Structure formats: structure tokens, C-alpha cells
Amino acid sequence: MMQTHKVDLLILGMGAAAELAAIYAHDASPSLNILIASKALKGKGGCSRMVQGGFNVVLSPDDSHEKHLMDTLKGGQYINNQDLAKQLVEEGTPTVKELETVCGCFFDRFPDGRVHQKPFAGQSFDRTVHRGDLTGIEIISRTTEQVFKRRIPVLEETRAVELLLDSTGKTVTGALLYDMRRCEFLVVEAAATLVATGGGPTQYRFHAPGPEKSADGIAMLYRAGARMRDMEMIQFHPTGLIVPGSVVAGALLEEGLRGAGAHLYNGEGERYMQRYAPDVAERATRDVVSRSAYMEMMAGRACPEGGVHIDAAHMGADFVLKAFPGMAERCAQFGYDLARGRVPVSPTAHFFMGGAEIDTDCRASLNKLFVAGEDAGGVHGANRLGGNGIAESCVYGRLAGKSLARFLATDRSITKTAPGLVKSLVARLQEPLLRTGGRSPLEIRHDIQETNWLKVGIIRNKKDMEEAIPIFRSLGDDVERASVSESNACNMIYNVWLDTRSMIDVSIMAATSALLRDETRGAHTRLDFPEQRDDYGLFNTFLWRGEDGMPVTEKKPVEFTHKSLEACQKWKK
């Protein structure tokens, strides 16, 4: 018989957004019955832990929330949800302080005791708080301790596979989970559900997130019928390690390295960013630097390893080893010397700016559903500034916890799941274990990644994207017909199959939304429409799952609720 849990609050994920939501919901209402489900081991997985650079926040009297907001809107090329962007920068200040006072984080200091803040690209002030270049480990280590301290139960290596709905299809009643150790399904019904699994665009050849990531939360939200926004906006980080044949290919050399003065060179030894962005060179925003590197590679000016080179040696080996010990050690593991030589890098898929549409209380479009972190869209617009990602996770995790406590203070009722829904979902999900003769999920995953890299990647055009969508649909059929050998132990190939389901959904969403935007803006670059057109492109794309399983789309004008278009255009960093 299938195991069933009933709780007040189900939290899917265990990164910064999920853990802070659990901490703040518990502290606001200690009687809440909270359950966390994590695809990884406690405190050992996800993207938050991998954050190297830091947390953008206003702390100095010489800085201001106004400046941080304008930087964020400029970086997002004006299509941000301004209510969320304003909330991010204003709530960032108390959030980072409470990371120290509530959670016990300790960030680097100036000699006088002030929190150290370093430069990141796209900012008008050096406002990035950090712990060396291992900031995410500091944050997740401390927040995980606080989850333990509060005795909040965690289901480890238990991934969410579907959100559950009532008979109307408008209210989320919990989630169907899969215990990866025991290869068993279980049901959790909840008065409120928070999706905070993190994004992780691993559907590309080069990708920065860890191998356990597959955009499960975003895909589940779409399949449940949640309203999604700006799914064409996928950020490529410009400097992912090239490590042939390794699962860590695409792992980041973070923003602070370029902020500190590292240079980029093509295969001909040219410092090419001086040509693409002469005013700021390597400190241009991620979309500009990624696009520039890709164009150098496609023009035949790649380095021998197939990408470009990053060079920090001119800053001095002692400085590099002291300021960036984590990156130096990672490079050394693969035979590269970051402190004394050039290291091969490539643009690597890094972050979804799009996701579920939410309000300032983290409520999504379905009843009893909340979303925080990278699974939500709107904060970053068309491009996220480095350092605003972990800030979003922490700020909106904290806010989601408080919002959920307020919601559950008035309603802890658990809505009944639609009759027969769980049984039908489990039967469908077990089919690959009973089937023979289908394609291997490993082959399907490779084809998804190559199709995205070549046709819906850093630089796009209408022809490629129109070709990509039927390819994705065909690969989706392959997923439905795939075969996985049955096993009573942990079945990794079956988990890859579950990953491919998510990858197909996010790939179709991204390509569909990208075809709606006939211009270049932020992370979305169109070779056939190379100009950013503010007379045309100031809209957000929205989509939701139609009855045929394909996206239904809508475009709506951007709402300039706090800053005018003219003010955004004139802002100089």
C-alpha cells in the first residue's frame, strides 16, 4: 500500500529558498507540521550550495536601494516585474543581516569589521557580500543547521514528480513523490505547497547546475496548469570550465573573477571583449559576455579546447589563490592553473529568468500553491545580474515562509485530491519499468541537450526554433515509449527518464516563448532580429499548458509601476 502523509506545509526542494521558507514559517508558527522533500541529501545538493560569488545587497551609506533597483532593471532590459524587483532590493538588506543573526552565517569582513562587498558586473556600486568564493556553502551549511535545530523533518533523496490537484484542477492538494532509494512512490497531501526546487537548465550541452538538476519544479508547475512567464529568458554564464568527458563540464568560474580584473582571450590571443564592450570589457553583463564568446567560437577563433581562455595570472598568483581558493582548487583538479595560466571556458547554461508567475506574497496562479527562488519568474526580467540569484533565493525564501505562516493561520484545511488521480499518475510513471524495446533515456537526454544547444541556445533564429519544436515533440514521444530495466535498488536510469520528462517540457516552453519575441533583448539573442526594439519589445510572454499538452501563449505590455521606461533607459552604471 502506498505511503501517505498529511501535513500543513509541504516544501519541495532544499536550497536557500526552501530552507529559509521552512525556518521562517516555523518561527512564525511553531505548531505548523512542515515536511521538506529533497532530491539530494540534506544540505548537499542544489544550486544554492554551488554559489561562489555572493549576495547583492545594499549595506553602505554610499549605496542605495534606488541604485540597486535601477541596476536590476537595466540588467533585465526593462521587462522585470518592478514590484518584485523593488521587493528584492529592499528586503535584501534585512535578509542578509538575518542570515548572520538568525542563521549564523559569517561573511568576509573589512579590517574594521564591516561586511566586505566586492564588485560584480553590471552594478553601479560594489555591493556583493561573500564568503571567499564559496558563499553558497556558507549559506546552505548554516541554514541546514537551523532546519535540524528546529527538528523539521526531511525526506532525503525523494524527488517530487507531480503536483496533485483537486477535481476542479484549480487547487493544489500536495504532491506525488518518488523515493529514489527504495524506488517507491508516496503521496503527501498538504494545506499549502511551496515549490522551491530551483531551476537548473541542464537541457543544454554545457550547463552549470549539478547533475541532479533537471528543472523539475518548473516542469511540474507547467503540467499542473500554473501560469508561467518569460520562459524564453535562459541565462548563459560566460565562463564554464571546459572538461572533456566529465559531468562537471560547464561548472562555473564565477563573476567575481572578471570583476576583479581577469581577461578573456580568443584562440588568436586577442582580448576580444574590448571590441564588443569597449567601455567595460570583461565586466559587461553576462548576456553580452556570453554572446561575445559564442560569436568568437562560431567565427573560428576558438582556443584549441573549443572555447575561449580566461586569464587571471596578471593579477598575481598570491592574490588569485587567496581571493579565489575554491575556483583555483577546482581548476587544479583538471590540470589547469588558474593562478598562473590561461584556463579554457565556454558559455554554459546557468539560470532561468522565467518561471511561475507570482505576486509579492509568493502566491502562484493555482490555489494553495506558493513558489520561491528560481522556479518563479519576473524578478530578473531578460537577464539576471550576478549576485542577484542567491539574493532572490534568500529574500523570497524568507518572504515565502512568512507568507505561508499568515496563510496557514487562517486555513489549515487539506483539499481532497481528485479521485483516481494518484493511481493514474503512478500507472503512467511505472510504464517504462514494464516496457522493453524503447530508447534509452541516456540517448534521449543527449538528443535534448544537443537540440537545445544548436537550435534554442545562446544565439537563435526563427528557422532553427521552428524546427526544434517538432523535434522536441518527437523526443517527448520517445520519452513516453522509453524502456528502463526494472530494479529493486536505486535505479539511476529511471531517474534519468524522469529528468527527460522535465527537460522536454521546459524545452518546448522556451522555444515557444522565444518565437514570440522578434528582437534581441537580454539573454534572448535573435540572429534574424539583432536589435533591441523598445518600440516593440516591452512585453512579457506568458504561457500555460493547453488541453493538447502544448503551450497556450499570451503577450502583455510591461507594467512600469515604479520606474519609467525613460528613467531605465537613461540609467548609467
Give CA–CA dist 335/296, Å, rounded.
24
Burial 425-464 (b: 16+ CB within 10 A, else e): bbeebeebeeeeebbbbeebbebbbebbbebbbbbbeeeb
Q: Tell me if 210 sits within 8 A of 27, measured CB to CB.
A: no
Active site residue 526: no
**Sign of torsion over alpha carbons 295, 296, 300, 305:** negative
Active site residue 309: no
Per annotation, catalytic residue among 26, 207, 237, 263? 237
Give CA–CA dist 344/63, Å, rounded.
35
Give CA–CA dist 456/137, Å, rounded.
32
Give CA–CA dist 35/184, Å, rounded.
18
Kind and range of the H or E run holding 267: none
Give CA–CA dist 49/548, Å, rounded.
38
C-alpha cell at 151: 527538528
DSSP, res 549: S
Q: Tell me if 75 sits within 8 A of 122, measured CB to CB.
A: yes
Per annotation, catalytic residue among 49, 130, 142, 258? 258
Give CA–CA dist 354/176, Å, rounded.
24
Q: Tell me if 388 sits within 8 A of 380, measured CB to CB.
A: yes
Which three-class secondary structure state does DSSP give residue 472?
helix
C-alpha cell at 33: 507540521
List the catalytic residues: 237, 258
